[in-house]
Structure 1
Amino acid sequence: MDFLKSAVASAISKGPPFPYTFGDRVDVDTSIWNLFNGTKREDGSNCSIFSFDVTANKSRLPMARNAVKKLRTLRHPGVIKVLDTVETETYIYIATERLVPLRWHITRKSMSAETLKWGLCGVAQTIKFINDDASSVHGALRVGSIYTSESGEWRIGGFEVLSSMKDDEAIIYNYGSLVPDSGRYTPPELAKSGWDAIKKNPLAAVDAYNFGTLILEVFNGDFMGPDQAGQTKNIPPSMHSSYRRLVNSNPKARVSVGNFLEQGRRSGGFFNTPLIKLTDGVDNLGMKSEEEREEFLNDLDQLSDDFPEDYFKMKILPELLKSVEFGGGGPKVFGVVMKISKKLTDEEFEAKVTPAVVRLFSSPDRAIRVCLLDNLPLMIDRLPQKVVNDKIFPQMVTGFTDVAPVVREQTVKAVLTIIGKLSDRTVNGELLKYLAKTSNDEQPGIRTNTTICLGKISKNLSTSTRSKVLIAAFTRSLRDPFIHARNAALMALAVTSDAFSEDDIANRILPSLCPSLIDKEKLIRDQTNKTMDVYLQRIRKFASTMADTVLPPLNAVESSTATPRMGTPQPSEAASWTGWAISSFTNKVSTAVGEITAERNAASNLARPSSAPLTTESRKPPGTASASALHRQAVISPPATSARTSTSSNANDYFHDADTGPVEIDIDDGWGNMEEDSFFDAPADASKAKAMGGANPFEDNGEPDFAGWLAAQAGKKAGGKPLPKGLAKAANGSGSIRPVSARSASTGDGVAAAGVKKAAATTAPKSKPAAAKKIDTAPKETGEDDGWGDGW
């Protein structure tokens, strides 16, 4: 083999330029030619090269030259296409389109009966042209002289003895018997009387006989000799009668190949098949009328999956795509394109179909757009990501706002197909903006499908926008009047539970689900219970990992003197939450003394000067506790600076705001004025907290120094100048100055408390009660708000 290649290369170097490169040798039937695969040096395209060695076959040189001449002059679609020829004293080369011997397919039985009929029909058309139009005789028609092109079409070669019957010195008379294996295929009259007998019989008689033997060979694999002619094994029954007339021993009784073709094309004939009709009509598909195109497409629908793949790739597919784009073929033709495309490799699909698909997405035809979206799942794996993201999606988004509901709906559904081919920037930017619009669509089905779509693409959303977008979309769908939209939201929430934090679940999702528990539709109520179970299990699991309390433990010394707190259950009281709550009240009755006045309550929010010293005066024995005192004692525990309380932080008395310090709870106003919408969305109002007295209104987490404030007011009234900070006049009227305990001033214990109370009633101007701090339950701002909440 290597020697042969080197010899060929050496011969080429000594002869005229031949711009083709020899490749592997191809096995063929016995022939005067050697066949090689080749490539064109200019562009690397495939070709085949027939090589004839003049030195080794001088006796057959006229046959080789006749083949070159006839191939160059006889032009027909069924004849091998010649690219170039070179002839020297030592060799003859013929460069042709890339070919595969038909014998390969026949030996492997790789063609269906319908494909064999299609191929025989093409050969019959070519032989009819040679006999009738060119007035010539092929003389060597057999499987060995037929090849298949890259498009799968059958091509006729073997023109070594092809002769015009108008030529008295035709080569067939002298060289017909020198064709390899001519003994098996020679018609009986020529085997008996010689090749000159052609002149005495009809011109088409020789090729008609050889066409009959070709039919037998194609369906059975081999033709062994004249004795086998006329057998009908494996030949389609519809051909039997006409086939026998082809191989009739009497040349004058034989039917010509042209007549055989005509019989086959009759209505119900053996050549009247969808595949053959498709071949005849595909060339001028764009010029057909609506009725003719419909008939053509019906023939396509009848095709089975065993059609000749190469022919459809190379011939049918380009014509169909042109018909869709420019000939008004419409969605039905594109459906056939997709059927054929299944047989394409990824490279073939990208080269032949992808450019047309990109152009079709820009078409204003809504029917084409819907057809493209319907067939998108069939081709999405073949489309490169860059093509989808940069070319198809920008054209596709117009469907989100189309006036036709069917286009909007199909566009939303198509998101699930293309989501894997879109960049993160496209998904979290442009796509979500369009889905926000379709979630408010006037068509309930489109709103429902948008909710389903968001649930299925949740994993493709970025973590910074996922929970914000999904919560906004799903909770709004829970209020949709369309039952299936609400149900879709519930199911979407159930399958996307991992996308939300425990804070979002407890503060936003579960409260939104609660109204659906009493929905008018049982379907919604049942689904709500299932969805809530998912989130409650999640919350319970998370809560089980939390600490029992965030309060620091009390040490042994302080715990012996500290007053029990209402908000801290004791171990012995854990059996019932009502039990420990009641016992906390009863334990505190003996410690609640004095009276609670409205003025003291109103002024208790004022800040004590940070420099005011704490009193060391002992308290008087506790008096009788009123109901209001009990309530005050229950809501506000002793300050951390009191001599009788511990120094631990009063977590049960105040909510601690990160910016403003402790804020006293006003339960009635905080919950009574809370509206449904502002409950979750109201921003934190830091300005109200600042009005309470600065960043740290109560030093050491204590209560306001009400007594100090009253003393300062009395000093201003008496002398026009405030007393020094931390000092107050004695309540007994002695005129001496001594420190006042914040504890005694706030509870009313002892003489000092009485004096403070009297001073407040007689000298202090009535101050307007400060507004109580409301609970701010809005989620803390993270600084990453990109407006998705408002958009949804």
Structure 2
Amino acid sequence: MEYLRTLGSAAVSTLVQKSGLNLPFYLGSKVASVDGLYTLYDGTKRDDGSLVSIFEYELSDSVKKNAKPLAQNSLRKLRTTRHPDILKFMDAVESDNVIYIMTERVRPLQPELSKWASKSVQEKEDWLLWGLHRISVPLTFLNDACHSTHGKLTTSSIFISPSGEWKLGGLELTSNPREENSVLYTMGGLFSGSSSWASPEVKQSGWPILKEFDPAVADAYALGLLLHAVFNPSHPPPATAQPPHTPPSPASRGSIPQLVFPCYKKLLNPSPKSRITAKDFLSIGMAETGFFVSNRLVKVCLGLDNLTLSSEADKNLLLRTLKETASSFPPEFASYRILPSLLSALEFGGASAAAILPLVLQFGGNISPEEYSNVILTPLIKLYSSPDRGTRMALLEHLPEYVDKLDKKMVSEKIFPNLQTGFSDTVAVIREATIKSVILLAPKLSDRLLNNDLLRLLAKLQMDPEPLIRTNTCILIGRLGPSLGYNTKRKVLVPAFSRALKDTFVHARVAGLMAFMATIECFEIEEMAVKVIPNMSFTLVDKEKLVRDQAFKAIDLFLQKIESHVKSMVCGFQLPPVMSLNLLQFQA
């Protein structure tokens, strides 16, 4: 196996397949060796390329062979125990000498603890309490619903998901006392380092004694030790871990929060019958003034999980909290925990799009360019087909924030077919917002859509009952003018602007004149003299001074352009000599 690890993942897969194994993944780089029992690798799922983690239990020599029941127990428990906070099982490959378990992509907790050591006291405390909350929930599930003992709750049994959430793993010793051949009671003492997390009753009477107690008691003691390990990593184990198991003193609190310390002491009670359980710890922390319920990250997670069922007041409070504290969240938590929940609420109506969309774009700023399209743009583009006007309005209002990420194919094939319904919407504000969005989307439209479909829609809007919409439509056509095709310019611009000059709304007439001026480079000289100036000239005597002033400026601009061109013209006609003389005499 050591030889295989020196090869690339594809070579490993080929060789293993020749030996009778068919791997559903490509083995990547090594992450860590854990407890001398397994090696953790990054991996890639073969069928869809998604990122996974691979736990390799290598059992080739006689010493490791003895640990095979532990590896098999881990596989069995992961496969049958499903909980959002327990490591998600995906697939497995098993042979006589090796067991591979494929799970969701995770990384070990221990290196993350080191990274957080440099954070502020409050940031670190918030993160650790959030993590302990995430571990207490599945531990309670194992103890109560599964009537099982985890048996190995240490920092090496906890992993971090891409969203930064703590996931419970390390199920090698997880056992139900009702099952035959449960490994905890027969092999618990054989596990390397098991004495470091063993409870006082186990140290006194051995692992089989746990069958006589509630499945939660051993895990509760280990939870107390875990609490000490994450808050006081540089301190020696608490005195209660060794005989005579004296209770923790106030001086030993270290960095453990004041509110948590009473629970910590009760978790480490040497008497299993007097010890609080993980369920008790969770209940105390989630009480009205508990240390979990007041935790910022815990509150956000609970709010996101219940977003669709929450009252409008609670939704608004959560969204306001997210907006005001966005920069304070861990980046991975913001990108892979908050953002997916917001996108889900946006897609399935958990809250108003006007409130959620700005947050989606705000938190989406941390997403890498490679992921932005799938994570942010795909759900946003899908929303353009929504019949809800609030959603469509929010998409258009915030278009400047994501339009640069859109490509021509997205705009032409997926957005524009749904966008064009907004041109004929019965609500004027939607029509106006749709018009304003076109100037941003136009550079990404295909030539056919720009020169045909769009202009037909704009021609109808020039007769809209709302004067501001007619005005903005004229301005839009003027801004689009330079990007139109040669023949389209010839056919469209003069009629469109001339129509605006006859509008009853004064600002529409001014817009028509300014549009002529803005597109002066789109007209040939002959066209200026024959079509443009004649179609503008009647505005010189418009009843509104604002229009007349703009008309003189416009015509003067075009005359200067024509005059400049005429000066460069070479006369191609010569008068006969006699006629030339007569003309000279006449001039004299």
The 5 A counterparts of 1:67-466 are: 67-109=74-116, 116-149=128-161, 153-164=165-176, 171-172=183-184, 175-182=187-194, 185=197, 204-215=216-227, 217-218=229-230, 225-226=237-238, 239=260, 242-243=263-264, 245-246=266-267, 254-272=275-293, 276=298, 279-280=301-302, 288=309, 292=311, 295-296=314-315, 298-303=317-322, 304-305=326-327, 306=329, 308-309=333-334, 311-312=336-337, 316=341, 319-320=344-345, 322-324=347-349, 331-333=354-356, 336-339=359-362, 341-345=364-368, 348=371, 350-351=373-374, 356-357=379-380, 359-466=382-489
Q: Contact conserved, 1:28 with 1:144, CA < 8 A, in 2? A: no
Inter-partner Cα distance in structure 2 for 1:216 and 1:454: 69
Name the Cα RMSD after superposition: 4.2
2:574 alignment partner, one of 546, 549, 552: 552
Distance 1:539 1:142, change over 3 A: farther
Gaps of 5+ in 2: 242-247
Q: What is the match of residue 244 of structure 2?
A: none
Q: 2:5 is aligned with what amino acid?
A: K
AA aligned opposite 1:299: L
Quickly say closer, same or farther: Cα 1:395–1:200, change in 2 above 3 A: closer
Structure 1 portions without partners, runs of 5+: 571-582, 588-792
Cα displacement string for residues 712-766 of structure 1 (whole angstroms, at most 9, x for unaligned residues): xxxxxxxxxxxxxxxxxxxxxxxxxxxxxxxxxxxxxxxxxxxxxxxxxxxxxxx
Residue 153 of structure 2 aligns to a residue whose secondary structure is coil
Q: Is the 8 A contact 1:152 1:310 kept in 2?
A: no
SS at match of 1:27: strand
Total equivalences in the alignment:
560
Give the match for residue 64 of structure 1.
71
Shift in Å, 1:187: 5.4
Deviations 1:144-174 (A, max 9, x none): 2112345654321112233335679864456
Deviation at 1:57, TM superposition (A): 1.9
Of Structure 1 and Structure 2, the greater helix share is in 2
Instruction: For 2:108, give the aligned amino acid.
Output: P
1:579-728 map, 5 Å? 584=586
TM-superposed CA distance for 1:534, in Å, is 4.5
Distance 2:232 2:407 in 1: 45
Q: Who is 1:564 aligned against?
A: 582
Letter in 1 for 2:436: K
Amino acid across the alignment from 1:319: S
1:391–1:203 CA distance, 2 compared to 1 (3 A): closer
Report the TM-score when normalising by structure 2: 0.78
Deviation of 1:119 (Å): 3.5
CA contact (8 A) 1:438 1:446 kept: yes
Match of 1:485 in 2: 508
1:80–1:155: 8 Å Cα contact kept in structure 2? Answer: yes
- In structure 1, C-alpha distance between the alignment counterparts of 2:228 and 2:532, rounded to whole Å: 77
Structure 1 residues 173, 451: closer, same or farther in 2, change over 3 A?
same
User: CA 1:41–1:512 in structure 2 vs 1: closer, same or farther (change >3 Å)?
Assistant: closer
What amino acid is aligned across from residue 471 of structure 1 in structure 2? V
Task: Give 1:108 deviation, angstroms.
Answer: 3.5
One-letter identity of the residue aligned with 1:439: Q
1:142 aligned partner, one-letter code? T
> Which amino acid is 2:416 matched to?
F
Cα deviation for residue 412 of structure 1 reads 0.9
Shift in CA distance, 473/17, structure 1 to aligned 2, threshold 3 Å: closer
Q: Which deviates more, 436-445 or 334-343? A: 334-343
Contact kept, 8 Å, 1:67 with 1:159, in 2: the verdict is yes
Gap change, CA 1:20 and 1:404, over 3 Å in 2: closer
User: Which residue matches 1:470?
Assistant: 493
Residue 58 of structure 2 aligns with which residue?
Answer: 53
Please tell me whether the aligned partners of residues 266 and 276 of structure 2 are also in contact (alpha carbons under 8 angstroms).
yes
The offset of 1:299, in angstroms, is 1.7
3-state secondary structure, aligned to 1:364? coil
Match of 1:23 among 28, 33, 36: 28
Larger Rg: 1
Confirm or deny: 8 A CA contact 1:36 1:49 kept in the other structure. Answer: yes
Q: Could you say if the C-alpha distance between residues 128 and 18 of structure 1 is closer, same or farther in structure 2, counting changes exceeding 3 Å?
A: same
Separation of aligned partners in 1, 2:263 and 2:300: 23
Pair 1:368–1:82, CA change in 2 (3 A): closer
Conserved 8 A contact 1:297-1:333: no
